A = this chain, B = another copy of it.
């Protein structure tokens, strides 16, 4: 059932998950697609279509069970598992992620932070010491890593990605200002901040 799900639907699932989490926080147990549509500002038919990709979750006239839907979408998104994350680049952005990820998400563990700046060596961030890049292959040989966040400049990110792939890493959360070239079995999720800022300047000039 989960096979030909469009990228657009996948892109919307985290937003459903976020809104459903807010509803749980507000002690709301059931919600109609109409009400969910109102708070999420998407059409009720879009919501029904999106959720039908995964079997529906709703009963006509009864609305959705908020916690059930939240947990099912969580499973689809892989949030019923735990992940060991490495952060490469322990500058402000890497440190922000180290703090952010644990705040926002259960099941995501920071397994290590690496940098090539010797002044950062041994600095503790959330009790994790910053390690030097030359220690990376040995670290990867001894630790299972699910996700690597690349929070360093372009050239360093490309070089680090190569070393990481040679040592078995297959999933990247890439913040560097470049698209990584990777084989088909490697997944990359990009956060291109300057692309995002340019979309904003476009909107400012065309509102």
Contact = CB atoms under 8 A, between A and B. Distances in A.
Interface of A: 2, 10-11, 13-15, 17-18, 22, 41, 76-79, 81, 83, 91-93, 95-97, 99-101, 104-105, 108, 146-147, 170-171, 173, 177-179, 185, 187, 189, 191-207
A199 B96 contact: no
Contacts of A14: 192, 194-196, 198-199
Q: Mostly helix, strand, loop or mixed at chain A's interface?
A: helix
Contacts of A205: 77-78, 81
Given A189-B203, A196-B173, A99 B92 contact: yes
Contacts of A191: 191, 193, 196
Nearest to A198: B14
Contacts of A22: 178
A100 B151 CA distance: 11
A127 B93 CA distance: 19
Contact of A200 (B17, B171, B179): B171
A78 B204 contact: yes
Contacts of A192: 14-15, 18
Contacts of A170: 204
Nearest to A104: B194
A101 to B, nearest CB: 7
A187 B204 contact: yes
Contact of A171 (B83, B97, B204): B204
B195 A15 contact: yes
A96 to B, nearest CB: 4
Contact of A189 (B76, B104, B199): B199
Given A15-B179, A81-B205, A171-B200, 19 more contacts: A2-B206, A10-B202, A14-B192, A76-B202, A78-B198, A79-B198, A79-B201, A83-B204, A92-B92, A92-B96, A96-B96, A100-B194, A108-B197, A147-B200, A147-B201, A147-B204, A187-B203, A187-B207, A191-B196
